[in-house]
Structures are given as C-alpha cells and as structure tokens.
Amino acid sequence: MPTARPTIAELAGQLAAGDTSSRELTEATLARIEAADADLNAFINVCAEAALAEADAADARRARGEAGPLTGVPFAHKDIFCTRGVTTTCGSHMLENFVPPYDATVVARLKDAGLVTVGKTNMDEFAMGSSNETSYFGAVRNPWDTACTPGGSSGGSAAAVAAGLVPAATGTDTGGSIRQPAALTGVTGLKPTYGRVSRFGMIAFASSLDQAGVLALTAEDAALVLQAMAGFDPHDSTSTDAPVADYAASLNNELKGKRIGVPGEFFDAGLDPACEQAVRGALAEFEQLGASVVDVSLPHLGLSVPTYYIVAPAEASSNLSRFDGLRFGHRAAGAETLEELYKKTRQEGFGAEVKRRIMTGTYVLSAGYYDAYYLKAQQTRQLIADDFRQAFETVDLIAGPTTPTPAFRLGEKTDDPVQMYLNDIYTIGVNLAGLPGISVPCGFADNLPVGLQLIGPHFGESVVLNFAHQYQQATDWHQQVPGDAP
C-alpha cells in the first residue's frame, strides 16, 4: 500500500505551479490501480485510454489559461452514474453490458470542472448492501485488512481512496452508503442534503432517499468537489433551486460558541466500546476548539431501521420494474411468452439481495398491506425528521458514531440480513430526514478505522464541512494510511 496519499488540494497546487502535468498524474494513477487493484477489486472498469485523452485535454486547457481548481486531477465514479460510451453496470449482471448514451449530471459537471475520470468503481448491486459483497463482480476488500469489508454500497470508491489509488471518487448514499464505507476505510465521506445534488443519470434505488456525494481524503477536498457538483438541475424534479454556498470559504470559521448535540440514542448497547472511546475523544477535541457539547434526544431514532427497510424496498420494487428484458439490460434466452421473459430475465439478472428487497417492497405495497406497513412507515419517517428538527433548534450540529463497530470480516454477516442491516443504524435516520452528514476518521478499534459522524440542518453542508475541517486541522487521523494503525 502507498505510504503517502496526496489530496486534491495538494495535486491542484502542483498542477497550478507547473510541478507536474495532468498526464503525469493520470499515468501514475493508472499504474497504481494496475498494481494494487487485484488485491482490492475496487474497480469494475478502468478507462485508461479515455483518461489519458482527458488528461491531455486538461493540460491544453491549463496552457490556454482556462483551468479551474480541479482541472487535471484524476478521479473515479461509482458505477451507478451513467457515463456516455462507458459501461454502467450498477454492480449487476442485469446491466453488465449497458452503455449509456449520455452522462449523469454529476458526471457532466465534474467533467466540466476538469476532473479526469480514470474508471468506474465497484459497488453493491443496485446500491443494495452494507458490505460490498452483493456485487456481481465480486466483493471489494478493505485496504486496512483485505479479509474485511470496506463497507457498502460505495465500498469500491472508499477502498480506492483509502488505498491511495485516486484522491477522491463519487458515491451515493441511500441509508449510509457513503458515510459507512468512509468510516470503515478511514476516509472522509460527505452526503449532502437531499436535493442539493442532481440525481439525473444516477440509477435509482429508492428515489426519496438516494443522494449523490463524495468520498475523499479531507473535508477540504469534499468541499471542492461538492462545489462543482451541487446546484439545481431542470432534468431532476427533486433537485432544489437554491443558491450554492461557497463551501471552501467557510472551512476556517472558528468553532468558539458553537453547540454540538450528542444524542444518547447513538450510544446504545450495540456500540463497540473502542468505537465509543474514539468518538468521545473526538468530542473532547471539539471542546478544545471552543465548541460546547450538550445532550439532545432523538426519541424515534430506534425506529429508523425498520422504517427504512419498508420505505426503501417499496421504492426499489417500483424503480427496478423497468428491468424486464425488453428495453435495455439483460434479456433471458429461450422464453416463449412475455411473462416467462420477465421471470427468467429477473431471475438471471438480479442477485439474492436485490430479489429480497424487491419481494419485500412489493409485499408492503400490495392491497391490504399498504396502510399497515408503507403508510405507517411514512408516518414514522416524519416523526424521525421532526426529532432532528427540534434538536437543531438548540444546537448547530449533531455528532456521534458513524457505525456501531469497525470493519467486519467478509462473509461474517452474509447469512444474517438483519445483522447486516443494523450496521447502518446510526446513518439511516439522516436519509429519512433528508439531512447532510459527513463521516471523518477519529481513531482506531482493533487496528481498524473508526468514523465520527457529523450531521447538519437542511442545506447545512457548510456547517458540517467547517466542523470536519477544523477537526482535521487539529488531528491527524485522516492522514493515517493502511498499515499505520497503532
């Protein structure tokens, strides 16, 4: 594994000073991927030829004096974002050979900003999973311990950043799928407010929960990428038409006088004692920075997991009905009737976890069960959102652990879906409420990274990035690389 991982800000500085070129950085990035990815399986597709062409274009752009702060920096996309002319598989056999004719808005905006796409990262199939073991293309392995999971569903992006293969990558977060893998691999993972970043061209899992974000080495890097990707998109009906803040401008704001709320519900019996110790240490660090730490309560947070696993599968059963073998994606051979084509295509194209969630979602939406399950879950979702809203009336930020344990071993929870789902117990509520959240490294447990979760009010990305950056200025947990754990 690498001994150093340059950040986006550092690489941008080198490019601006003329100390290197985008082509040199891209060639070095592709070489690292070739050397290390066999052990990690972080990438589904490496776009070497196209990446070098983009790098040359970035160098030409810089020579003309047209470069922006991100121009020429290598980057990767989770394979859930449509990329024109490049396969977009969503980690599924169903879309193994799907080549989109257009770019997702996120991809287009980051391309316009000058980032060089080196490849598409591995992920849980259709973003359904917490360990990156449901991918049709095989499990991703954690750079800190390749016998362990990197988390999911954005595990490929997290592993690639943690291992120093790329300085940053996109991810998506439906119930914690950016923050949880960020925590398990010791990187920074930002989930913006729902609607802050366009979902157009991002293959849907649960439309009212899915949100694009970024995995990076630092909060500063996350701010730079978010600046380029955020904003209203007329192609996305859930996109919010609100001004985009200058996220980098608020990174160095002092924390003196700020109030951090700590929910007692985050520190339950399921939290690993070493993880709790690391998080408590981070809270003490914030007090040294001038913030005060106060107790708050989120009384309905314990209902977030059952609520999520009704709402998300219900929306998935609707979204994934488009994969029928007729329009695009896998088509089963030998079917003699339309019904048989549907059945065989979905039987062959979807993996076990996707089928499980489709069946669950179809059940809770069926006649006689909609009111008992789906409607009740939506009412509970509102109660969870109200809890957060009330807490933010008295505090600037909410903090706690990102995950209950450090990374677990591959295969450890695959036979027990409930235990797998509980790994997202601290992250799901943020999605149900549509809030921004970030996970930053704050220590180690069993020689594996521990994540601190910071949650802000709606459109409070500047707040969470400011707190995260100030914490990273005062500590060096984010600078630890695989092999450095005490």
- Take residue 444 and report the two structure tokens written for it: 């180690």
Neighbours of 260 (CB within 10 A): 21
Concerning whether 355 is annotated as a catalytic residue, the answer is: no
22-40 vs 155-162: helix axis angle to the nearest 10?
120
* Distance between CA atoms of residues 114 and 169, nearest Å: 14
Concerning whether 177 is annotated as a catalytic residue, the answer is: yes
Site of tokens 């089928």: 355
* Distance between CA atoms of residues 193 and 398, nearest Å: 15
Identify the CA nearest to 189 among candidates 231, 160, 165: 160
Site of tokens 């940053």: 168
- Take residue 285 and report the two structure tokens written for it: 């660090």
Range list of β-strands (E), 131-200: 168-172, 188-191
- Take residue 330 and report the two structure tokens written for it: 């896998």
Could you say which DSSP state residue 375 is in? Answer: I
Concerning whether 135 is annotated as a catalytic residue, the answer is: no
Return the sign of the alpha-carbon dihedral for residues 72, 74, 79, 85.
positive
Residue 193: helix, strand or coil by DSSP? Answer: coil
Element (H, E) at 117: strand 116-121
b/e 184-217 (16+ beta carbons within 10 angstroms → b): bbbbbbbbbbbbbbbbbbbbbbbebbbbbbbbbb
Identify the CA nearest to 210 among candidates 163, 181, 175: 175
Contact yes or no for 436/192 (Cβ under 8 A): yes
* Distance between CA atoms of residues 99 and 85, nearest Å: 6
* Residue of 22, 92, 135, 177 with catalytic role: 177
- Take residue 166 and report the two structure tokens written for it: 């790329």
* Distance between CA atoms of residues 135 and 125, nearest Å: 5
* Residue of 135, 153, 157, 439 with catalytic role: 153
* Residue of 22, 78, 191, 258 with catalytic role: 78
Largest CA distance in the chain: 70
* Distance between CA atoms of residues 183 and 151, nearest Å: 8
SS3 of 404-461: CCCCCECCCCCCCHHHHHHHHCCCHHHHHHCCCEEEEEEEEECCEEEEEEEECCCCCH
* Distance between CA atoms of residues 344 and 333, nearest Å: 8
Active site positions, annotated: 78, 153, 177
